[in-house]
Amino acid sequence: MFAIKLGLRNLTRQKRRNIITAMVIAYAFFAYLLMDSLMNGMEEMSFENIKDLETGNIQIVHSDYWEEREELPLENLVYLDQDVEESLKNINGLSGISPELRFVANLNNGIDELPILGLGMDPDRYQEVFTTGEYLVDGSMFSLGENKAVIGEKTAQLMDLKINDYITLLVRTKEDTFNTIDVEIAGIVNTTHPMVNSGTVFVPLDIAQQALNVENRVSLIAIKVNPGYEESVTETLNQNFNRKDLKLKAYSWRESAETVIALSAAKKAGIGVILLVVLLIGIIGIINNVILSALERTEEIGMMKALGMKEMEIVSVFMVEATGIGIIGGLIGCLLGAIGVGWLVKYGFDLSYAGDMTNYGIPILNKLYGVWNFSAFSFLFILGIIIALLSSIVPAYWAAHKDPVKAIYHR
């Protein structure tokens, strides 16, 4: 008890140094919490963007299509017949179905040409799965049968296009012959997903099927599920397909977002490195503090030893002091972190300063918002205290191990 009392009282000595050490720890905590919040926010937004604007929760494709899907082939497509439709019915947790035909096209505005991803879809069913329609900044969505298209804002800027302009999509049919799709621009979208904004042209599914000569076939069927049903719906779908011998397979969005998930794993490793740096800062601060305190209090340590204090008792005084600094620094850091994270959650971080995030494989545009990760606060605070405690042991033992005669006479 006396060691605790003395250790805590010692916090009032060398106030400036103790405050600086605590503030260094606080700053390290603050920086870590902010990074953690942003990284988690980036992960959450990336995953949401992929699910809401790119893949849906689940994608159903022909078994042989999956491996080749990046090439956007017109082989091994899904034929939308009664068997397939029945396989998708009455599945608990399934909330939306959207067939899509994805194809390679060149967008021509009469002057320039741009390679893009053509996406044929049924707008009514598409909105059951995707939120793209909510990001219309000009015009409106088309209907099936209309020779109209929706493009991303960046594509529109790049190709100098606006609503009611006509564009031609140069495509190759299933038989590898050339064909064109002439459409009027019905709407322009500006989503949070860069791929949609700059490289995709949406056209009615029936128009695309006709131009590509694929009959009633689609590249994939995107599925939306209620939260928590992803695994069970995927399993049920695959069971249904197997039972009907349909050569179809359901894949979770995670399997088509491997790059982003790999980036997310790298992000976790990055956070680990930041955590190490934070801890190192804390350790160096505490060790420095204890060593300086011990040097200043050499005669006092000598007196304690003369009075018969054991080394461990002297060590515990320094440990209490170091832990106190860790607690103060941790509390200030968590408080500053809470303010910073709160700001990031509410106002976000403008990515325009950071350049085009797609260059780094991150499917986010405009603003990146932080997320609350309360476990990071408690984890860091507890870890900070433990580290402060542990990092003080060696210098405190060094101080307590001094020869009492040399310490008393400060030799």
Partner 1 sequence: MALLELKKVKKIYQQGKIKVPALRGIDLAVEQGEFTTIFGPSGSGKTTLLNMIGCLDTPSEGEVKLNGDEVSKLSQTELAMVRRYNIGFIFQAYNLIPVLTAYENVEFAIRLIDHSSDAQKKEKVLKMLEEVGLKGLETRRPNELSGGEKQRVAIARALVKEPKIVLADEPTANLDSETGAEVIKIMVKMNQELGTTFIFSTHDPLIMKFAKRLLNLKDGMISSDERR
By CB under 8 A, name the binding residues for partner 1: 2, 5-6, 9-10, 12-13, 299-300, 302-303, 305-311, 404-405, 408-409
Neighbouring residues of 225: CB distance < 8 A, sequence distance ≥ 6:
57, 58, 93, 94, 95, 233
Q: How far is the CB of 361 from partner 1 (least distance, A)?
A: 56
**Residue 150, SS3 per DSSP:** strand
Return the closest-CA partner of residue 400 out of 24, 7, 19: 7
Q: Which lies closer to partner 1 via its Cβ, residue 68 or residue 296?
A: 296
The backbone region for 14, taken as left when phi is positive above 0, alpha when psi lies in -120 to 50, beta otherwise, is: left
Return the closest-CA partner of residue 209 out of 132, 294, 112, 144: 144
The Cβ of residue 351 has, within 10 Å, a number of other Cβ atoms equal to: 17
Q: How far is the CB of 312 from partner 1 (least distance, A)?
A: 9
d(CA 5, CA 19): 19
Q: Which lies closer to partner 1 via its Cβ, residue 260 or residue 408?
A: 408
Cβ pair 222, 130 in contact under 8 A: yes
Q: How far is the CB of 331 from partner 1 (least distance, A)?
A: 22
DSSP secondary-structure letter at 46?
Answer: H
Q: Which lies closer to partner 1 via its Cβ, residue 73 or residue 404?
A: 404
Neighbouring residues of 58: CB distance < 8 A, sequence distance ≥ 6:
222, 223, 225, 230, 233, 234, 237, 250, 251, 252, 253
Q: Which lies closer to partner 1 via its Cβ, residue 243 or residue 410?
A: 410
Q: How far is the CB of 291 from partner 1 (least distance, A)?
A: 19
Q: Which lies closer to partner 1 via its Cβ, residue 81 or residue 296?
A: 296
Cβ pair 49, 364 in contact under 8 A: yes
Q: How far is the CB of 299 from partner 1 (least distance, A)?
A: 6
Q: How many CA atoms are closer than 13 Å to the CA of 84, on its beta-carbon side?
A: 21
Cβ pair 135, 189 in contact under 8 A: yes
User: Looking up tokens 């799965």, which residue turns up?
Assistant: 129
Residue 203: beta bridge partners?
Answer: 120
Q: Which lies closer to partner 1 via its Cβ, residue 19 or residue 383?
A: 19
Q: Which lies closer to partner 1 via its Cβ, residue 6 or residue 371?
A: 6
Neighbouring residues of 241: CB distance < 8 A, sequence distance ≥ 6:
60, 87, 247, 248, 249, 250
Dihedral (CA of 271, 251, 118, 75) sign: positive
